[in-house]
């Protein structure tokens, strides 16, 4: 198309209806379209590698094996919500072939580099086909959106909103420079009249025209809380089950009061819970800091997360996104390896590096039995590594692409993730959506009457079926994050064993009147009492 010409494309692709689902039942799975589907060994059609269409293909297998990949892998795992890293049109300022997508150019158009087709209508058509294909398989789709800044810069790099109306769409200091709470060059003016209107119209555009089911807001701390409340209200008017959640922080000094964790209470959106993340794996910026799953430390942060954040910052558990790994910072596999290597030599000898798989499984068990919405990063379930790099937004395919052979080598860990996801699906007691229900249902052993003191480095809690919907009357969840075998006392009763020591034993039905349960290091257990 010549520079002085325009192109109008009207697409009539019809999508499959949105699957029914309540937010409390969601299990989020974050993936990058290119990373997830570009491995040549994935079984994806060669002309669909790294594309929207590659994520629609069924029947893919790791070359020469029966190991499922891509969409078949997601379905096998039991995920019900796919969170796509940015698919709105973005700039590639660092690598002309690869980007995560966090430098947006156009918030309302799909990214063209993920297309298999080459015609001008391909981005719109294929993005719609992707959402429809996932809906057809019973999956919901949320978009990772980056409304906090654009790829522009003042002066000299204006191409869209900054060129059109810089004072309307961006925040400025008194000295004429742009606020940069995004740490990416500028800061979107969400609390201006036109900025707020744009945000609401943009998310409604994706819901109405592409049928997406929710949004994850990057650096949501830069979007003022009043705009978020209006945006969430508009989306829930369309469909009350649409998920709205984001990062309650910024990337630097900002031009507004940060829309931080706690401001969302009862207002229609959720936040990522960095407390349980840091409690499980260690603070993201303290690499030598062990945490619960590798040392039994930081119990309080984990325990607050298990109750869905209602004791600290959340009005209800669905406001809490519980996670241990995401695209930012090190993968769990890499973080555990780095922390282990930073231990004194004598301690390393006592804590074998081969236990990372058990630590990861313990983290998964914690997330799937905690109240709130669990979140997994693609490949976490089989030990994905990014070669110890922590911020890989521009490091290309060699570092970022999911290598499906790793699923074959991590099959035992992956199968455990699958089973613990099924445990959550099968038992509503682990996904209560109401504060009052959690208060009644989830009780730590030391709060029981009489109280039970658990060994150092462990957590024990009971979950009661307070809704009458579960096949179990109650469950006991035991977590041993320490480096030693621990014996945890139990309350009186007869219990069956669903999973223990990193193994599932769902076929066991015999109940035993145990007074304690012993766990190896870095493992957990779920005991249960069936409904009479």
Alpha-carbon gap, residue 207 to 345, rounded angstroms: 54
Of 30, 35, 213, 218, catalytic: 218
Q: Given phi > 0 = left and psi -120 to 50 = alpha, else beta, which region is 272?
A: beta
Q: Which of 35, 213, 247, 358 is catalytic?
A: 247
Question: Rounded CA gap, 91 and 86, in Å?
Answer: 11
Helix (H, G, I), strand (E, B) or coil at 54: helix
Nearest to 161 by CA among 193, 189, 184: 189
Q: Please, how many CA atoms are within 13 Å of residue 220, restricted to the half-sphere of its CB?
A: 27
Nearest to 447 by CA among 311, 294, 281: 311
Q: Is 218 a catalytic residue?
A: yes
Is 247 one of the catalytic residues?
A: yes
Q: Measured between alpha carbons, how far is 40 from 164 in angstroms, rounded to an integer?
A: 42
6 CB contacts (<8 Å, ≥6 apart)? none
**What is the Cα–Cα distance from 244 to 93, expressed in whole angstroms?**
29
- C-alpha dihedral over 470, 28, 200, 241, to 10 degrees? -20
**CA separation for the pair 374, 301 (Å, rounded):** 16
- Torsion sign over Cα 279, 281, 282, 284: negative
Tokens 């990949």 locate to: 69
- Using DSSP's 3-state secondary structure scheme, residue 222 falls into helix
Write out the two tokens for 129.
Answer: 């086909």
| DSSP helix/strand/coil, 11 | coil
Active site residues: 218, 247
């Amino acid at each position: 198309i010549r520079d002085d010409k325009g192109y109008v494309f009207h697409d009539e692709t019809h999508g499959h209806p949105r699957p029914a689902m309540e937010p409390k039942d969601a299990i989020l799975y974050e993936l990058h379209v290119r990373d997830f589907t570009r491995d040549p060994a994935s079984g994806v059609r060669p002309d669909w590698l790294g594309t929207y269409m590659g994520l629609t293909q069924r029947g893919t297998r790791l070359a020469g094996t029966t190991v499922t990949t891509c969409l078949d892998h997601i379905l096998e795992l039991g995920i019900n919500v796919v969170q796509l890293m940015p698919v709105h049109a973005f700039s590639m300022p660092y690598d002309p072939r690869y980007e995560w997508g966090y430098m947006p150019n156009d918030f309302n158009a799909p990214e063209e580099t993920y297309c298999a087709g080459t015609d001008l209508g391909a981005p719109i058509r294929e993005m719609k086909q992707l959402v429809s294909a996932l809906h057809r398989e019973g999956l919901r789709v949320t978009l990772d959106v980056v409304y906090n800044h654009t790829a522009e810069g003042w002066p000299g790099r204006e191409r869209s909103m900054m060129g059109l109306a810089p004072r309307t769409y961006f925040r400025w200091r008194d000295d004429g420079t742009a606020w940069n709470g995004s740490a990416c060059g500028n800061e979107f003016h969400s609390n201006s009249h036109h900025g707020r209107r744009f945000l609401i119209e943009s998310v409604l555009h994706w819901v109405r025209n592409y049928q997406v089911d929710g949004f994850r807001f990057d650096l949501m701390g830069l979007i003022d809380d009043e705009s978020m409340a209006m945006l969430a209200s508009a989306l829930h008017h369309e469909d009350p089950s649409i998920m709205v959640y984001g990062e309650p922080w910024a990337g630097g000094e900002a031009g507004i009061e940060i829309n931080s964790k706690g401001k969302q209470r009862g207002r229609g959106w959720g936040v990522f819970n960095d407390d349980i993340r840091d409690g499980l794996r260690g603070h993201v910026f303290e690499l030598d800091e062990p945490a619960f799953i590798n040392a039994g430390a930081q119990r309080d942060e984990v325990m607050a997360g298990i109750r869905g954040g209602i004791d600290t910052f959340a009005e209800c558990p669905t406001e809490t996104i519980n996670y241990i790994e995401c695209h930012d910072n090190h993968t769990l596999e890499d973080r555990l390896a780095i922390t282990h290597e930073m231990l004194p030599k004598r301690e390393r000898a006592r804590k074998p590096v081969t236990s990372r798989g058990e630590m990861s499984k313990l983290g998964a068990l914690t997330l799937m039995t905690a109240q709130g919405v669990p979140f997994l990063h693609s490949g976490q379930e089989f030990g994905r590594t990014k070669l110890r790099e922590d911020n890989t937004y521009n490091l290309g395919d060699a570092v970022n692409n999911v290598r499906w052979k790793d699923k074959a080598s991590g099959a035992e860990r992956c199968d455990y993730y699958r089973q613990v996801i099924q445990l959550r699906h099968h038992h509503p007691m682990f996904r209560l959506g109401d504060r009052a229900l959690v208060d009644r249902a989830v009780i730590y052993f030391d709060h029981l009457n009489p109280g039970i003191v658990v060994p150092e480095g462990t957590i024990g809690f009971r979950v009661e079926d307070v809704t009458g919907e579960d096949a179990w009357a109650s469950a006991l969840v035991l977590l041993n994050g320490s480096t030693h075998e621990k014996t945890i006392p139990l309350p009186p009763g007869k219990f069956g064993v669903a999973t223990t020591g990193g193994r599932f034993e769902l076929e066991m039905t015999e109940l035993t009147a145990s007074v304690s349960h012993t766990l190896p290091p870095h493992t957990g257990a779920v005991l249960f009492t069936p409904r009479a």
